[in-house]
C-alpha cells in the first residue's frame, strides 16, 4: 500500500480517537504536483467552512497549497516546521 494511504489512515484514526467525525469534504486528493496542491487548496478554501489548518503529503504539493493560499490573501504563518518523523 502506498505511503499516502497509511498517512490518510493515521489521520482518520486520530480524528476518531478524539471523537471527531471524519468529513470527506476536508480530504482533497491530488497527484503530488504543485498544481494539484494549488487545486486542492482552492477546493478546501471554497468550502462553506474552510479548514484553519492543512497538511500535505509532499513538499511540492505543500508549496502549491501555500501559493494558492497567498493568492487568496490568506496570511500563512512564517514559523518553521519539521516534516520528518
* pLDDT tens by residue, 10-42: 999 999 999 999 999 999 999 999 999 999 999
- Residue 53 is predicted with a pLDDT of 86
- Residue 79 is predicted with a pLDDT of 60
Whole-number mean pLDDT of the chain? 89
Domain locations in the chain?
3-71
Proportion of the chain above pLDDT 90, given as a percent:
67
Q: Looking at the domain 3-71, which fold is it?
A: Rossmann fold (3.40.50)
The 3-state secondary structure of the chain, one letter per residue: CCHHHHHHHHHHHHHHHCCCCCCHHHCCCCCCCHHHHHHHHHHHHCCCCCCCCCCCCCHHHHHHHHHHHHHCCCCCCCCCCCCCC
Confidence of residue 3 (pLDDT cuts 50, 70, 90): confident
Amino acid at each position: 500500500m502506498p505511503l499516502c494511504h497509511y498517512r490518510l489512515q493515521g489521520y482518520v484514526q486520530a480524528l476518531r480517537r478524539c471523537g471527531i467525525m471524519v468529513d470527506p469534504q476536508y480530504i482533497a486528493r491530488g497527484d503530488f504536483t504543485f498544481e494539484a496542491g494549488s487545486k486542492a487548496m482552492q477546493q478546501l478554501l471554497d468550502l462553506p467552512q474552510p479548514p484553519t489548518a492543512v497538511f500535505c503529503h509532499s513538499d511540492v504539493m505543500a508549496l502549491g497549497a501555500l501559493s494558492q493560499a497567498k493568492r487568496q490573501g490568506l496570511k500563512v504563518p512564517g514559523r518553521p516546521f519539521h516534516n520528518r518523523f
